[in-house]
Structure 1
């Protein structure tokens, strides 16, 4: 297999049959040794984070499959920390789509004049450009369309899928009395029809989740979610 991409938290390989293999690492995003799902740098390495992230990703992708929500997921090998997926092309040079249920993190830093910390939000969807040099700037629907990154029709699909998937994850977490504050997704186009599907992962490293008002670290979230 041929390595085609080296990322912060995973590497991507192309398999002989044309599908892709994602190899999950133990690196997570953050700054100064503190985890932050919205950060654009690797902040720390947590032993077992790769397998933990993949285990939770597999759980959520299979839950989405049951509901007929389109993703790139094919299967996963937890022991090897790998996931096989359908090849997808990203929008432009990559977008991140955040679904927010409470005002925390960068949302609060930007809108703190009007928002209170922890204020409830109604599955607010925010799109940012993957651009480390410019600190992943937020971008509007109009700008996405005008810059040729995606059309307004595609944006509507993207927003709808983001809220659908966010609500599935939120409901799954609620089964363990865990509250989802926000979650970050990535999407891409697959196949000749260029269907928009969820790509990448759904793990503790992509979200902020709390139980009894206390933040849950990514590895602990995986344990709480997958314990019998």
Structure 2
């Protein structure tokens, strides 16, 4: 097995998640276009597809849903229709503080997984990061913009567990040797088969950086994203 095989498998995971987010965004757009006054009650039409998807991907998906732009809903100015899931459990709605005057206000409009799709019109993958607000797991968030004509409705997104990427590496390149890692567009480790490359660290950090001749090099790019699987030269 090889780093190329690991990259292909991980690309499949990401492509699958992107297709789901696109489908979920289309459902949000249909709900918006189907009523003159979209409300939180109308978002219940998304529940069953969300629950089905979470049940189908328990190892990969930690959560999914839609995050609305300001004043898209008639009854709430600020809203996440977000459901979390742990394997062998039932989906759980994520409760956050929607009051902008509160010290605990969840200002998602400033988050890169919201601002980048809004400003560029393209999907984005952000992370890895520890989700202290919800699962306490290492996650990456994939988000796509949702529009109705010229109006930005928000984003459809999914939180993916980085453990699934690590399993993909271990299954295809084995543990420890050769040291191999999945690197995001910011040159941070998403997953690896070695403790020398912990999730969230830069590829220039750690013992290997002391010897430029042993820096890790690209083995296989991931189509559609500035991610790559890299391997230390042997």
TM-score, reference length from structure 2 = 0.27
Query: Which structure shows the bigger proportion of residues in strand conformation?
Result: 1
Which structure has the larger Rg over C-alpha atoms?
2
